Amino acid sequence: MRLKKESTLLTVDVGNTNITFGVFEGTELKNSLRMMTGTPRTSDEYGLELSGILERTGTKISAIDGVIISSVVPGVMHALIGGIERYIKKDPMIVGPGLKTGIKITSENPREIGADRIVDAVGAYEKYGGPVLVMDFGTATTYDLVGAKGEFLAGITAPGIRISAKALWEDAAKLPEIEIKKPDSILAQNTVTSMQAGLVYGQIGQTEYIIKKVKEEAGLETMHTVATGGLGSIIAGETDSIEVYDRMLTLDGLRFIYEKNR
């Protein structure tokens, strides 16, 4: 008896800095790739670039069974969707009001919560259970609390490390553009390492304090703490307050939402 082929899903996360694409075969992430969000593209450019890269990295376009998109950048959506429809030959599912997520939004205005935060919340809750505080170290640094029954209880938003770094070198004439990494010591002895120390250790301190205050005010002695996002690995590796760093949490969240609505 021939086993049924696992479906192939293309997940798309449109962030402020990058567009991240993930290819799942069943529950397994087979491939991921990125494009810069800020580069203007037509629908043909999106379609040709994406289909070309997928084919070159082993994913046949004809094998893709579905597409799901989460976006916080409305300006790219018309061209991106057009490119996917024309070259991938699929009508993408868009994360937004009306889709089942398994997360109950209890905030004052549910529509104000970004699609990326909902997707991260779904990924963290489905993979690790609740209560869970999911932290995304991206363009902004976000902290979102999901309760034991899947309720979106609270969200905190702070400037991301790159935003803070950019403010330093753009608004202070004598400060240079630097690589964001943890220096060997917080006791910096030059301009570059002093900036790196302030940015990275400052983010670690912020993270530990916010986790502590969330536990206090939510009355939670224990909760899972899950980090994701491009710079999350730097922070997660330097504090015991973060339980797990999950680089592909957002793509997994998209897969869970697609499965709930298929």
What is the side-by-side order of every strand in the sheet holding 224-228?
Answer: 104-105, 151-159, 140-146, 132-137, 224-228, 244-245
Query: Can you give the three-state secondary structure of 91-121, one letter per residue?
Result: CCEECCCCCCCCCEECCCCHHHCCHHHHHHH
Q: Which residues of 35-71 are buried (b: 16+ CB within 10 A; e: fewer)?
A: bebeeebebeebbebbbeebeeeebebeebebbbbbb
∠ CA 261-109-142, nearest 5°, is 80
Helix H or strand E encompassing 54: helix 43-56
What is the side-by-side order of every strand in the sheet holding 8-14?
Answer: 28-36, 18-25, 8-14, 64-71, 93-94
Q: Is 116 noted as a catalytic residue in this protein?
A: yes
Among residues 44, 65, 116, 136, the one annotated as catalytic is 116
Q: Are 73 and 22 in contact (CB under 8 A)?
A: no
> CA-CA distance, 192 to 178, in Å (whole number)?
7
**Residues noted as catalytic:** 116
